[in-house]
Structure 1
Amino acid sequence: MSTDKVETRQLIRWIFGQLKPYRRRVIIAILALIVGAVSWLLLGQGVKVVVDEGFLANNAGKLNQMVFAVLGIALVGSLAAYVRFYLMIWLGERVSSDIRKQVYFHLLKLSPGFFESTRTGEVISRFTADTTVLQTVVGMGLSMALRASITFVGSMLLMLITSPLLTLYVLIAVPLVLLPIKFLGARVRTYARNSQDRVADMGAYVDESLHEIQTVQAYTHEDIDRSLFAQRIEAVMQAASHRIKYRALMISLVMGISISAITIVAWLGATEVLNSGISAGELTAFMFYAVMAGGSVATISEVIGEIQKAAGASERLLELLNTKPLIEPPSSPAVLPTKLRGTLTLQNVNFTYPSAPQNPVIKNLNLEIKSGERIALVGPSGAGKSTLFQLLLRFYDITSGNIYIDDLDSQKLDPSALRKQFALVPQESVIFASNAIENIRYGRPDASIDDVKAAAKAARADKFIDELTDGYFTDLGERGVRLSGGQKQRIAIARAILADRPILLLDEATSALDATNEQLVKQALDKLMEGKTTLIIAHRLSTVVNADRIVVMDKGEIVAIGNHQELMQGNSVYRQFAELQLVN
């Protein structure tokens, strides 16, 4: 994946685009921000009156009056700050949630080819760490930047009214303050992106090692994994230290230049007071505004650092959002018949994986499968059997040739409509972290509980499900850790039975079962396969014997087709495979 570098203004435009649905809240937050900023600016005028007309004029009544006025202004500013903080933090959370939904919805469209080169842990990091950075920018950063900008402009105007000469001195210092922001901000952004990448790498490693925790512990690999994880943690720290160094340098330079400028201006202002150029109250108000302006610049520089960090995070999120699905539905897809016969025709099919274009996986494959026919696919590992399943489901587009379903070209069909014609039972059963009902219902989300139980009974899974703690409502754990291999397989078969689709793809659905359960499930599968076109990747002799035809594959090609007896006598590849690998 790659994308052009995202400029800061593009990031701001993108974020404001995310805020569009919440215009009303944004407007209220901005109004509260303006009221708050104006309140703090008015405090300077209050301080001026307190000094000139109250303190120096020895007027206790005026002093008391202005103190109450200042307290009133502070109260208004505080209430405005509450409204602003509440709304902006809410907007930060909302925008972060919306972006996560956008990214997740987009990922569901991407074909398996994308996930060949992108680790799950890295994607998860983009969901969490990167969106959290954007949440901070929207919830706090933009609010602070807008308030600081208004405060800076207001302070400069009031300073200009108070003393044009001193304001000129301040304006001379402003470019000096902006220099560190310009030159160091780009480095902050570069190192922020690098830091996010290292965090993603760490997340991917954690996901992988914990997913395979049994293998890790079985091979006593814990010490090595601790060492490798520690290396990744140090890589995160090293990348973060560069970002922190330049960001801290930028903020310290801005603060140093600002404080130095304010000190010099205060000295020049004091000279003006001594020369009767301005009053003490005017100088006090001017310095109040100068400090506010300096603080605003410091705030803006800090927020720019956050925005540079967010730009790095947004690049990674936009990479995901800009990744085009390899499988796009046609603009005017062909319509499948309501009742599909389930015939399949493969003509001169060739395929290479996008990640390895130099290695053909399927070569000039031709095969016709009749409605209701049972086809067993056999052959050594790497023969292309599983790849053929992926092509039928159109997880990848074939390099050349054609695949027809009921005489309709699969590439002219909407992929979703095509896949609804297949029920898949993989060799490694997929169980989701939910209860038994939802796992079986995955094949048909609108199915009733009675339908689910009927499917489980047909798959001979009802007995062990009833014995679980909460029966059908028992949570099966992440990836079905509470079930045996055979139990997982029967849940997957029940899912396919409930889906009731015209074409079945079975990756030897009985391979994980013991002899007793295998016989029970075979009875369920025989019933399931009635009237359905079935392709079975076979590893057992009993499977191939019961097939209508056996297709022998080797190195991506069909080398023979026939029944068991014919192939044992006439095909050396099949005979060798049967003797070595088919298990009775």
Structure 2
Amino acid sequence: MNSKEQPKGRLATLRGLQPFLAPYKKQFVLAGIALVIAAGATLAIPYAFKQMIDAGFGAAGAAGAKNAAHIDLYFIALFGVACVLAVATAARFYMVSWLGERVTTDLRGAVYSHVITQSPQFFETTQTGEVLSRLTTDTTLIQTLVGTSVSMALRNALLFIGGLVMLFVISVKLSSVIIVLLAAVVLPIVVFGRRVRKLSRASQDRVADASALAGEILNAMPTVQAFTHEGDEAHRFRSSVERAFETAMQRIRARAALTVIAILLVFGAIVFVLWLGAHAVVRGSMTGGELGQFILYAAIVAGAIGALSEVIGDAQRAAGAAERLLELLSVRSPIRSPAQPEPLPARAANSAALTLRDVGFRYPSRPQTPALSHLSLDIRPGETVAVVGPSGAGKSTLFQLLLRFYDPQQGQIMLDGVDIRRLDLHALRGAIGVVPQDTVVFSANALENIRYGRAGASDEEVIAAAKMAAAHEFIEKLPQGYQSFLGERGVRLSGGQRQRIAIARALLKNPPLLLLDEATSALDAESERLVQGALQAAMAGRTTLVIAHRLATVQRADRILVMEHGQVIESGTHAELIAQGGLYASLAALQFSQDAA
């Protein structure tokens, strides 16, 4: 994935999140107001304590009795400050938490919406488990940053600045000593902060690796169990999570060291300065109230520095997460709709003309191996064309190019006379119905799985399509009929039943171009007979391309194309190709002998 646009290894990466923060300026302003009020109330508390100590407890005699009369007023004022602090802190917490949840939701939606528009080329090199890790783990880190860390950073920055100003107001000498000592704390915090960022990125990568491995294995459990590899896969996953644990522990140790160094240096400096202050009180150059006030402000400053060191750690982790998410968002699919797409011409009937001119294609992951070479075809509206040939001949590749999952490196493909690269992707794919060999059934009920073919279809239309695909009978026998949940990836159905669901989906779409990729390969003889009849009705008057090995499908085609090594080497009807005695004849003879056996 291309990440050149994002500055690696710097908190500047977080600037890439600005488009997700910009829509909520009002909420940020309200949170900022609450934050300033809360910080001001916090800074007012030490001053109130100073007044109580000096005016209430530091006087004697009649003046002391007079000042003592004001103690109640000071305590009421202190409680009032505490009330303001409580309300402002609660308001700040609510606003920043809302912002964290809102921005994270927007970010997850944007990443997911972006990923599902990528071409298959993207998924050749990116594991789905890694994408899921970025959608969950990485966005959670961003949520922590926006919903907690930014607010904490601003609050503690205000407390640090305000506390520092008050320290100088009380004693320039003591405050100057503290500044010099605190300056010596910055260097180790910066050095360890960089190490924490690097280890955070590595830790997130290891978690993504483990998620990708788990996702791959869980989606292949029947195969894993059939080959009795449960123990091996469990060991592989344990090794992967152990690597993630080791990397995480390195990060935790580095962050713990950062915390220890920051707190020890900061509070060591403060203790030293307070020792100087105690001697000043003894000498009479500072009152007890001023020393108490100085102690509280020094504690506020120290606490702010400690909190800022924690926030820096969170920000470093979030920078690594943001870098990974922005890398994902920066990926641009090579397959996109043109800026000004051409419309498809109006058709007299529900069928389309298809033309291929000198098409050549190599998969991006296998650039040295041609999948199609100088392929030219003319398919008339309403024609049914069967495509046969050995595995690797380019049959499925042809279908992928027609759907524009990839673009050919040479030549052009035209639908109704329009180059498909000049069509809107949704318009192109909306004109094509597909029944794949590897049927996808979603975790939904039967009704919604078939309705996936046309979202606005009524229940009656869905049921009619199921009847055409010979799926109505077995669906009716499910526990809740069409409302029955089919399980993840359709595990509650047999292979033939899943394929009939896919056929019903394509029939419901009612497209002018129908692509059948081994549409009856998983059916028993009776189901195949029923589906063949349904497919014949569906193909009537519609342009159809059929990939098939079974002659029951092939023999009914208007024309048969025989492919080998990405080229059409024979073309004709079943009888003509048998008479030629070429590759098709040998494939037919082999199948006849197998059927006879």
Structure 2 distance, partners of 1:170, 1:284, is 16
Secondary structure in structure 2 of the residue aligned to 1:326 = coil
Secondary structure in structure 1 of the residue aligned to 2:69 = helix
> What corresponds to 2:236 in structure 1?
228
Structure 2 distance, partners of 1:126, 1:379, is 41
1:347–1:17 CA distance, 2 compared to 1 (3 A): closer
Structure 2 distance, partners of 1:97, 1:6, is 24
Within-5 A mapping of 1:293-312? 293-312=301-320
Instruction: Note if 1:513 corresponds to 2:523.
Output: yes
**Are the equivalent residues in 2 in contact too, given 1:486–1:513 (CA < 8 A)?**
yes
Within-5 A mapping of 1:234-249? 234-249=242-257
TM-aligned CA deviation for residue 571 of structure 1: 4.4
TM-aligned CA deviation for residue 75 of structure 1: 2.1
> What corresponds to 2:558 in structure 1?
548
Structure 1 distance, partners of 2:341, 2:515, is 24
> What corresponds to 1:413 in structure 2?
423
TM-aligned CA deviation for residue 182 of structure 1: 1.6
TM-aligned CA deviation for residue 358 of structure 1: 1.2
Letter in 2 for 1:357: P
TM-aligned CA deviation for residue 276 of structure 1: 2.1
**Are the equivalent residues in 2 in contact too, given 1:341–1:406 (CA < 8 A)?**
no
Within-5 A mapping of 1:23-42? 23-42=25-44
TM-aligned CA deviation for residue 490 of structure 1: 1.0
TM-aligned CA deviation for residue 9 of structure 1: 4.6
TM-aligned CA deviation for residue 8 of structure 1: 4.3
Instruction: Note if 1:346 corresponds to 2:348.
Output: no
Structure 2 distance, partners of 1:102, 1:38, is 38
Structure 2 distance, partners of 1:418, 1:227, is 46
TM-aligned CA deviation for residue 68 of structure 1: 2.7
Structure 2 distance, partners of 1:571, 1:279, is 112
Within-5 A mapping of 1:358-437? 358-437=368-447
Structure 1 distance, partners of 2:480, 2:392, is 42
Higher mean C-alpha displacement, 309-318 vs 62-71: 62-71
Structure 2 distance, partners of 1:11, 1:72, is 42
Structure 2 distance, partners of 1:446, 1:381, is 38
* Deviation string, structure 1 residues 75-119 (Cα, Å, up to 9, x no partner): 221121111112211211111110010001111211011001111
Unaligned runs of 5+ in 2: none
Aligned counterpart for 1:49 among listed residues 45, 48, 51: 51
TM-aligned CA deviation for residue 185 of structure 1: 1.4
Structure 2 distance, partners of 1:283, 1:8, is 41
Letter in 2 for 1:391: L
> What corresponds to 2:168 in structure 1?
160
**Are the equivalent residues in 2 in contact too, given 1:362–1:384 (CA < 8 A)?**
yes
* Deviation string, structure 1 residues 6-57 (Cα, Å, up to 9, x no partner): 4645344333432222222222211111111111110010111121111222
Report the RMSD for the aligned CA atoms in angstroms.
Answer: 1.5
> What corresponds to 1:218 in structure 2?
226
> What corresponds to 1:266 in structure 2?
274
Instruction: Note if 1:523 corresponds to 2:533.
Output: yes
TM-aligned CA deviation for residue 63 of structure 1: 3.1
**Structure 1: 4+ residue segments shifted above 6 A:** none
* Deviation string, structure 1 residues 187-209 (Cα, Å, up to 9, x no partner): 11111111111101101111111
Structure 2 distance, partners of 1:311, 1:9, is 6
Structure 1 distance, partners of 2:215, 2:9, is 32
Structure 1 distance, partners of 2:581, 2:145, is 67
Aligned counterpart for 1:94 among listed residues 86, 102, 113: 102
**Are the equivalent residues in 2 in contact too, given 1:254–1:301 (CA < 8 A)?**
yes
**Are the equivalent residues in 2 in contact too, given 1:440–1:494 (CA < 8 A)?**
yes
> What corresponds to 2:179 in structure 1?
171
Structure 1 distance, partners of 2:397, 2:591, is 20
1:87–1:447 CA distance, 2 compared to 1 (3 A): same
1:201–1:579 CA distance, 2 compared to 1 (3 A): farther
Within-5 A mapping of 1:98-109? 98-109=106-117
Letter in 2 for 1:368: D
Structure 1 distance, partners of 2:196, 2:329, is 24
TM-aligned CA deviation for residue 420 of structure 1: 1.0
Structure 2 distance, partners of 1:38, 1:177, is 26
**Are the equivalent residues in 2 in contact too, given 1:55–1:63 (CA < 8 A)?**
no
Within-5 A mapping of 1:440-459? 440-459=450-469
Aligned counterpart for 1:503 among listed residues 508, 513, 517: 513
Structure 1 distance, partners of 2:589, 2:311, is 70
* Deviation string, structure 1 residues 349-394 (Cα, Å, up to 9, x no partner): 0001111211111111111111111111111111111010000010
Q: Percent identity?
A: 47
> What corresponds to 1:469 in structure 2?
479
> What corresponds to 1:577 in structure 2?
587
> What corresponds to 1:564 in structure 2?
574
- The count of aligned residue pairs is 584
> What corresponds to 2:147 in structure 1?
139
